[in-house]
Chains A and B, each alone.
Chain A
Amino acid sequence: MPEAGFENLKALIVEDNAHMRTLLRAVLNSAGIKQIMDASNGQTALTMLREHKSDLVLCDLAMKPMDGLEFTRRVRNDEHSPNPFVPIIMITGHTEKYRVEAARDAGVTEFLAKPITAHNLFARIAEIVERPRAFVRCDNYFGPDRRRHVQDDYGGPWRRKDDFQQEVDVR
């Protein structure tokens, strides 16, 4: 395979189902992503994240003892989080609207419904690469900007008129 662009990328799969872990690993490998760690729940994944650098996380929602929502909140908000900006793609069969909203509010970067296809997974990764999102920090949220679309015909109040006064560089 020619240089794929992912030679240095380290991915972490957080998924309690061993078959799904194998499947995800196989799909990532086919795009040239070879440095992959996996964990069977959020608790183990947090420990791995502290010990090993990760550039991309694929995370299930329903896991025990720590589910994907709590894992995401901890990655984004823990004082000692090794990388609060790491892109997190939540991959789950729980596609009900309120669960998708809960994932968004926890701070996931992208959401992917099972059953997965390689096309859809690659599209989510491409989205992260091509259109990285701004992060927002406010009193009750830290994570990717949850407003994905600009409504040109929006006629309501501009609630964050002064939100953009403070831009920071965290590198």
Chain B
Amino acid sequence: MKSARNKAQIIAPDAYPQMLSKPNAARALKTLRAGETAERAKIAMEAQVPAMRAAILEYVEALEQAGTDMRIVFERSHDIRGFAETAGLVTTGRIADILCRYIDDMERIKKPLDATLVALNVSVIGRAARAEGSDTTMGDTVAQELAALVAKRLADASQG
């Protein structure tokens, strides 16, 4: 027989203080789903793009200077992954995502990183971030091939 202590206590939503009162909740939902709210948000985000692109270039420089310091590589590539697409640098974001997943997966299976592969990713991130109109077919092709290469290395590492 389960003791009373082991039983989960369920606290229903109407039994704890909610974020908004009911009248405000109805109006808030309307606001969140309104086209004009989406338009205002789009304008607000677009206004941030120049600052975000500048920030990404700073992260790229830090990434390139990190060398074999994988902690910095990991942190800066995550920053880039988090920002790039919002700043309109879709390919840069995709390549940073490939690098992040590679580092994370290798750490999870406790295998050493391939420094050459990391350097290749860093180099491509830098080129993509700096290139005018980097989100081209060529950029997509490079990202796809890099993803395939990383996937193969991960598979090899998992088997090895």
Interface range for B = 35 or more
**CB-defined interface of B10-29 with A at 8 Å, one 1/0 digit per residue?**
11110111111001111111
Chain B binding site: helix, strand, loop or mixed by DSSP? Answer: helix
Number of interface residues of A (CB under 8 A): 63
Asked if B38 and A119 sit within 8 Å, CB to CB, the answer is yes
Q: Give the interface centre of A98, A115, A129, A165 by most chain B CB atoms within 10 Å.
A: A115
Q: Give the interface centre of B12, B29, B78 by most chain A CB atoms within 10 Å.
A: B12
Which residues of B are interface residues toward A (Cβ below 8 A)?
A: 2, 5-13, 15-20, 23-33, 37-38, 40-45, 47-48, 51-52, 55, 75, 78-79, 81-86, 93, 100-101, 104, 108
**In residues 7-53 of chain A, which contact B (Cβ within 8 Å)?**
7-9, 17, 19-20, 22-23, 26-27, 29-32
In the bound complex, how far is the Cα of B5 from the Cα of A22, in angstroms? Answer: 45
Residues of chain B within 8 A of A7, CB atoms compared: 24
Residues of chain B within 8 A of A67, CB atoms compared: none
User: A115-B85, A132-B18 given as contacts; is B29 within 8 A of A167 (CB)?
Assistant: no
Cβ-closest chain B residue relative to A32:
B31
